[in-house]
């Protein structure tokens, strides 16, 4: 694996095959933004990885929530609604707890 030091940041080098029309759009965007194609690709990949990691975490959180429901670890919807409706009032309620 090859590494390159760019502005004090260690970066690995890889190659990517992209469609010709996407490459043209990428070149135009790089010129417009006054950035390199590599910079744009790095930004896009970073955003994609962050998004996918967030989606994975949402899925794990959903499975955990379903397990809570299955095991009866829930809070009644009415109790939550009462709590939310009390926000900002003189009689703000404490957050309801799982029984």
Is there a domain that residue 3 lies in? Answer: no
Structural domain for 37, as ranges: 17-85
User: pTM, whole model, 2 decimals?
Assistant: 0.68
Is there a domain that residue 56 lies in? Answer: yes
| Chain centroid to CA 68 | 24
Distance CA 85, CA 79 (A): 10
pLDDT of 4 higher than 80: no
Least Cα distance to 29 among 19, 17, 41 occurs for 41
Task: Write out pLDDT tens, residues 11-42.
Answer: 888 899 999 999 999 999 999 999 999 999 99
Contact 32, 41 (CB under 8 A): no
Is there a domain that residue 72 lies in? Answer: yes
Q: Which residues contact 37 (CB under 8 A, 6 or more apart)?
A: 26, 27, 30
Question: Mean pLDDT across the stretch 58-71?
Answer: 97
State the average pLDDT for the chain. 92
Is there a domain that residue 32 lies in? Answer: yes
Number of structural domains (the chain) is 1
Is there a domain that residue 54 lies in? Answer: yes
Confidence of residue 10 (pLDDT cuts 50, 70, 90): confident
């Amino acid at each position: 694996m090859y590494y390159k030091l760019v502005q004090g940041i260690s970066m690995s080098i890889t190659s990517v095959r992209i469609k010709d029309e996407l490459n043209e759009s990428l070149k135009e965007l790089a010129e417009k933004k006054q950035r390199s194609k590599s910079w744009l690709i790095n930004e896009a990949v970073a955003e994609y990885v962050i998004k996918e990691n967030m989606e994975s975490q949402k899925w794990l959180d959903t499975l955990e929530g379903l397990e809570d429901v299955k095991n009866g670890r829930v809070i009644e919807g009415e109790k939550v609604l009462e709590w939310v409706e009390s926000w900002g009032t003189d009689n703000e309620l404490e957050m309801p707890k799982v029984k």
